[in-house]
C-alpha cells in the first residue's frame, strides 16, 4: 500500500534508492488513487478485520458494495491464515507474541521523515528460543510478482519495527513476508538483526541525497510507478539513445539535413531509389526516416539483450501518451498537431425497468438469460468440504497463459518439452518488470 505523506516512503524506496532525485521530482505530480488502489485499500481493511477477529478484538466487517467479492474474501483468507499460522507457531514456541495490525513504523533514524504502515508486525520467538521480528505485507496486485528477498520496502518497515520494539524478546532474527495471493505468491526473506541494521546504515547517505533532491537520475525497472516518468529526462534519453545507437544502429547523420540528397547518397555509396514515391517522400526529405547503409536483420540474441530496456521504454511510451492525453482532455492543453475526438460508443438502455415493462406489455416474455453460478459461488454455498466432496472431481485448473519473463522471476519455468506441441498456443506479452 502506498504510504501517505512520507517523501521517502517505504513503498517507493526502490525508486529513491536507485534514483535519489525521483522523490522530489515526483512531488509536483498528484498521487492519484486508482480503482486498483481503492480495491486494495478495501482488501487491506478486510485483512485487518480477519486478523483482529482472530485476536478477539471488537471489530466491524468492512462494507463495500463495489469491492466486496468472493475473490476478495478468498485472497484475504490466504493472508489471514498465513498471519495466524505465524502467531500460532510462536505460541507453540513458548511465548506470547506481540501482534500489531496496521502498525505505523518510523524509520527516520535511517531516512529523513521516513515512515510507513506495516500490515502486520509480530514479535515473538522461534523454535530455538531466539527473538524474532516478523513483518507481513499483503499485496493485491497481479501485474508484477513481488519478491520478499531483500525487498527494500519490507526492510525499511523492519528497521522501523526494530527501532520501536527491538528490546522485546532480544530480537536476533528478522523475517519479512509478502503475501500476494492473486499470483499464488507467499515469499519470506530472513536475515539477522545485524544484517538488517548494516543495510540500514548502508542506505543512510542515499536517503539524505534523496531527501535533498540530489544524486543521479537513473532509469531502470524501478521507474514503473514513478509519477515523474512521463516527463523524466532520464527515461527520454534512454529511449532515444537506444533507438538511435543500439536498436536501429543508424548511420551517422541519417537524420541530418541533406542526408537524403542524391549527392550525399552517392558519396555514401547508396544508389538513389528509382521509386518516385520514395524520391518525393516528404519524411525522407526532411530527414525523419532513417536510411541504412547495410541492410540486415537483427539476430534474436541481440533482441534478447535489449528486452529489459524495451520493457521500460514501452512502459515510458505508454505513460507519455497517458500524460499528454490527460493534459489535453482534462486540462484543455493544446497539443500541437493533435486534437481531441470522441471514441466509438455502444447503444445502451436508459431505464431497464421501463424496457422490461414495455416489452412484457407488448407480449414479449423471453427476456432473461439463466446462468450457472460460478465455481467460487458454489464453494461459498456448499462450504469448502462439501464442495470438494461433491464437485471436486469436476474441478480442473487449466494451464495459465504462457509468458516470457526475465530469468530471475521466481516462478518455476515451464517444461515445454513435456507439453504437447500446440503451434497456436496462446501467449501473453512480456510483462514489465519492477515492483
Binding site for ligand SF4 (CB under 6 A): 15, 19, 22, 25, 217-219, 222-223, 226, 228-229, 232, 234-235
For the CB of residue 211, give the shortest distance to ligand SF4 in the complex, in Å: 15
Beta strand ranges found along 250-408 (DSSP E): 402-403
For the CB of residue 435, give the shortest distance to ligand SF4 in the complex, in Å: 12
Which of 46/234 has CB closer to ligand SF4?
234
For the CB of residue 157, give the shortest distance to ligand SF4 in the complex, in Å: 21
Q: How far, in Å, CA of 54 to CA of 18, rounded?
A: 40
Cα–Cα separations (whole angstroms), residue 316 to 25, 89, 228: 16, 45, 10
Among 143, 45, 64, residue whose Cα is nearest residue 403: 143
CB neighbours (10 Å) of residue 379? 18
For the CB of residue 226, give the shortest distance to ligand SF4 in the complex, in Å: 3
For the CB of residue 182, give the shortest distance to ligand SF4 in the complex, in Å: 25
Which of 18/175 has CB closer to ligand SF4?
18
Which of 51/219 has CB closer to ligand SF4?
219
Which of 46/144 has CB closer to ligand SF4?
144
Which of 29/255 has CB closer to ligand SF4?
29
Which of 175/229 has CB closer to ligand SF4?
229
Which of 79/222 has CB closer to ligand SF4?
222
Residue 227 DSSP class:
T
Q: How far, in Å, CA of 99 to CA of 339, rounded?
A: 56
Q: What phi and psi, each to the nearest 5 degrees, are found at residue 123?
A: -120, 125
Which of 124/434 has CB closer to ligand SF4?
434
Indicate the length of the chain as a whole number. Answer: 435
Residue 89, C-beta contacts closer than 8 angstroms, at least 6 positions apart: none
For the CB of residue 209, give the shortest distance to ligand SF4 in the complex, in Å: 13
Helices (H), 117-261: 152-165, 193-212, 233-241
For the CB of residue 239, give the shortest distance to ligand SF4 in the complex, in Å: 11
For the CB of residue 21, give the shortest distance to ligand SF4 in the complex, in Å: 6
Buried b (16+ CB within 10 A) or exposed e, 258-276: ebbeeeebeeeeeeeeeee
Residue 97, C-beta contacts closer than 8 angstroms, at least 6 positions apart: 87, 90, 91, 122, 123, 124, 125
- 137: its cell numbers: 505485507
Which of 238/379 has CB closer to ligand SF4?
238
For the CB of residue 317, give the shortest distance to ligand SF4 in the complex, in Å: 13
For the CB of residue 316, give the shortest distance to ligand SF4 in the complex, in Å: 8
CB neighbours (10 Å) of residue 387? 17
Which of 115/222 has CB closer to ligand SF4?
222
Residue 182, C-beta contacts closer than 8 angstroms, at least 6 positions apart: 75, 140, 141, 142
DSSP string for 36-74: HHHHHHHHHHHHHHHHHHHTT--------TTT--HHHHH
Angle between helices 152-165 and 193-212 (to 10 degrees): 110
- 335: its cell numbers: 497539443
Amino acid at each position: 500500500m502506498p504510504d501517505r505523506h512520507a517523501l521517502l516512503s517505504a513503498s517507493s524506496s526502490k525508486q529513491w534508492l536507485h534514483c535519489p532525485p525521483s522523490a522530489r521530482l515526483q512531488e509536483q505530480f498528484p498521487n492519484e488513487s486508482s480503482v486498483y488502489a481503492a480495491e486494495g485499500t478495501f482488501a487491506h481493511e478486510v485483512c485487518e478485520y480477519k486478523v483482529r477477529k482472530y485476536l478477539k478484538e471488537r471489530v466491524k466487517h468492512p462494507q463495500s458494495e463495489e469491492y466486496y467479492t468472493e475473490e476478495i474474501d478468498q485472497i484475504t483468507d490466504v493472508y489471514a491464515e498465513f498471519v495466524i499460522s505465524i502467531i500460532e507457531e510462536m505460541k507453540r514456541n513458548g511465548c506470547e507474541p506481540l501482534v500489531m495490525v496496521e502498525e505505523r513504523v518510523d524509520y527516520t533514524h535511517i531516512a529523513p521523515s521516513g515512515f510507513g504502515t506495516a500490515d502486520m508486525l509480530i514479535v515473538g520467538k522461534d523454535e530455538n528460543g531466539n527473538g524474532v521480528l516478523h513483518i507481513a505485507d499483503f499485496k493485491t496486485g497481479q501485474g508484477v510478482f513481488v519478491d520478499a528477498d531483500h525487498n527494500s520496502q519490507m526492510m525499511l518497515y523492519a528497521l522501523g519495527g526494530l527501532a520501536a520494539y527491538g528490546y522485546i524478546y532480544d530480537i536476533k532474527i528478522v523475517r519479512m513476508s509478502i503475501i500476494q495471493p492473486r499470483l499464488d505468491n507467499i515469499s519470506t526473506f530472513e536475515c539477522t538483526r545485524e544484517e538488517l541494521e548494516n543495510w540500514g546504515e548502508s542506505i543512510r547517505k542515499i536517503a539524505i541525497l534523496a531527501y535533498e533532491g540530489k544524486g543521479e537520475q537513473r532509469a531502470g525497472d524501478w521507474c514503473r510507478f514513478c509519477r515523474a516518468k512521463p516527463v523524466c529526462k532520464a527515461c527520454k534519453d534512454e529511449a532515444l539513445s537506444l533507438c538511435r545507437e543500439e536498436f536501429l544502429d543508424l548511420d551517422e547523420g541519417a537524420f541530418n539535413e541533406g542526408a537524403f540528397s542524391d549527392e550525399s547518397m552517392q558519396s555514401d555509396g547508396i544508389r538513389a531509389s528509382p521509386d518516385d514515391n520514395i524520391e518525393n517522400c516528404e519524411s525522407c526529405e526532411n530527414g525523419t526516416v532513417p536510411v541504412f547503409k547495410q541492410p540486415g536483420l537483427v539476430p534474436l540474441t541481440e533482441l534478447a539483450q535489449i528486452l529489459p530496456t524495451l520493457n521500460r521504454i514501452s512502459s515510458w511510451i505508454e505513460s507519455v501518451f497517458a500524460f499528454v492525453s490527460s493534459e489535453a482532455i482534462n486540462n484543455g492543453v493544446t497539443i500541437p498537431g493533435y486534437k481531441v475526438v470522441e471514441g466509438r460508443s455502444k447503444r445502451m438502455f436508459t431505464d431497464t425497468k421501463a424496457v422490461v415493462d414495455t416489452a412484457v406489455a407488448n407480449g414479449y416474455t423471453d427476456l432473461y438469460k439463466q446462468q450457472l453460478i460460478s465455481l467460487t459461488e458454489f464453494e461459498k454455498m456448499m462450504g469448502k468440504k462439501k464442495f470438494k466432496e461433491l464437485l471436486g472431481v469436476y474441478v480442473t485448473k487449466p494451464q495459465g497463459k504462457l509468458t516470457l519473463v526475465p530469468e530471475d522471476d521466481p516462478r518455476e519455468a515451464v517444461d515445454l518439452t513435456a507439453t504437447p506441441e500446440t503451434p497456436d498456443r496462446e501467449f501473453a506479452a512480456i510483462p514489465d518488470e519492477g515492483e
